[in-house]
Chains A and B, each alone.
Chain A
């Protein structure tokens, strides 16, 4: 893949003026993520958590093997729609990122970019045993072993792969966590940003994105 899109170039406006553009700085914002403050009134915070847990929109990105057991959830037999769970095609409209299985280094770069484009509050659910300790690809040179060193995880669902009923139980657990106020993955990411970034940059060798992809 060529890196021409990251170098400085000259762009012409409709009137014919020449503008110098440095893509990594000018097209992205340079702020780092901030910690979301909670409301000081307990009733308001409880209401917000209750509302967030009742409508979880999932991003449609099947990263690995587990994606094949996400499709039956949309059919009438297992029916995730009655819980308010929908699949959305774009990260700007999604709340939950379901990482379904192993992640290779190439996919991890795209997953990081997609995760940082989602708007907070956002949660990560990890499926399968490949995210816990590497699973059956533990000695492979291209798959990661522990997901929580690169992204903050809220719920793990074990299995290889988990059945649709286990996925629904996982969503139930996530709703409980959110309602008790413990769904703080995105705040942990903002606080320990340097640590996560150094782990990510250690394995992704050709880094041609800005540090925070908002």
Chain B
């Protein structure tokens, strides 16, 4: 893996390389050269299999982190590519021409995080939720407990007890 990194260090803006264990490695690349690096890895280095495309919400830094996990079946190595994009205007080039399954991952990211992938097939149609018009649910500022208590009628009796006070009341009810 180190040889591949040495080859591409001069050509692409990469940083933060870490060998997590002997089969997995991490790498960060900047947003405008990310798709070029993916095409290079797929065609010339043999990383033919895309396992996951997902996103992490770093709300403190006002960024989304997109993670592309690609796998090389000959060398049997996994590579996690991280791309940081802006949280307000979240957009990224679509890669459905390289891997056709990426269209499904991109539909889910548009619905759950609000990240737009222009020109991806069927990216505007709802994938999982039906009739949803609030915040995209997987963002950190969406409070799921409050939403559930307001919309779905919770049954009473679900309270938290302090163990010390509860046992005291049970064992010594007169005090």
Contacts and interface: CB of A to CB of B under 8 A. Distances in A.
Asked if A and B form a direct contact in the complex, defined as CB atoms under 8 angstroms apart, the reply is yes
Interface of A: 1, 105-106, 109, 132-134, 138-146, 149, 199, 202-206
A105 B131 CA distance: 10
27 contacts: A1-B126, A105-B130, A105-B131, A132-B155, A133-B157, A133-B158, A134-B148, A134-B155, A138-B158, A139-B144, A139-B148, A140-B148, A141-B147, A141-B148, A141-B151, A142-B129, A143-B152, A145-B152, A145-B153, A145-B154, A149-B153, A202-B151, A203-B151, A203-B152, A205-B131, A205-B132, A206-B131
Given A105-B130, A141-B137, A206-B131, A146 B148 contact: no
Interface of B: 126, 129-133, 137, 142, 144-145, 147-148, 151-155, 157-158
Contact of B130 (A133, A149, A199, A206): A206
A205 B129 CA distance: 11
A28 B131 CA distance: 24
Contact of B154 (A109, A134, A141, A204): A134
A139 B137 CA distance: 13
Contacts of B144: 139-141
B131 A133 contact: no
Nearest to A207: B131
A105 B148 CA distance: 12
Nearest to A205: B131
Given A109-B130, A199-B153, A203-B151, 10 more contacts: A105-B130, A133-B155, A133-B157, A134-B148, A134-B155, A141-B147, A145-B152, A146-B152, A203-B152, A205-B133
A131 to B, nearest CB: 11
Nearest to B130: A106
Contacts of B126: 1
A182 B167 CA distance: 41
A144 B148 CA distance: 8
Contact of A146 (B132, B133, B145, B153): B153
A199 B153 CA distance: 10
A144 B152 contact: yes
